[in-house]
Amino acid sequence: MTKQNKIPRWVKPDRQGYLVELFVRDGLKCQQGHINCPIVEHYLHTRYKVSSVSQAVYVPCSEEDGTPIKDKQGNQLYITIYKPIPVIEAKLSLKTLYESESDSVIHNWRIDDKEAIQSQWLAEQKAIHSLGERQTSHLRGKFSTVSSDIWHSTQPLFYLEAIGIDGLRLKPFAKVKLAGSYTRLYVNLEDSLKTVSKNRRRKAIRYNKPLPQSINDKVNAKIYESVNHYFNS
């Protein structure tokens, strides 16, 4: 008995029709918009993934009061710890313009569907409470199948923890925690903050001050791209 493939939530007739129109328009074009382009390099598509490598750091040993711990010869003793260092990996692939565009469109549809499910769930909860109905499910214990599906579908993909500057490349990056996981990604923001003044950029990095909405949209788009690549790779 073969297991049936689950149809993705984003698959709907109108969306499939739009993908067909997109393919008719750009299916034979390279990344630069040339039809039946003979130059292979024009089909190169780059996606970035942030991972981490371990770097040895030597920390001097000391007592609780700060007194250095030394060996019999009077030499300072050290302990080795390994610090995760973010590394940006570039993955190259050959894609048509349609393939790049459809990946982006489908990604946005998935986000829209998650937000719609969350809004519907919140509306249902509000309606239940407004009617004064008692909650029959247990507050503690395991999820039911329906509750589990609703809970997972309403969770965000990630949480933005901080924005910083890479000391090696002097480029801004975002520290992101994946939802429901201890995994954290360091996403290269490239030129997303280029149009922000130095003062406002400094406040955003040091004091977590909000950025303009247009810049937030660019930052979130870059993070979504990296998180989506992480899950699909």
How does pLDDT run across 111-126, given as a tens digit for each residue? 888 887 877 777 767 7
What was the pLDDT predicted at 80? Answer: 87
Distance between CA 230 and CA 47 in Å, rounded?
10
- Reported as a single tens digit per residue, the pLDDT across 13-54 is 888 999 999 999 998 899 999 999 999 999 998 887 777 788
pTM over 0.75: no
- pLDDT value of residue 42: 92
Largest Cα–Cα distance in the chain? 78
In the predicted model, residues of the chain with pLDDT beneath 70 are 1-5, 124, 127-156, 167-169, 180, 203-209, 233
Nearest to 198 by CA among 223, 221, 172: 172
Question: Would you state the pLDDT for residue 138?
Answer: 46
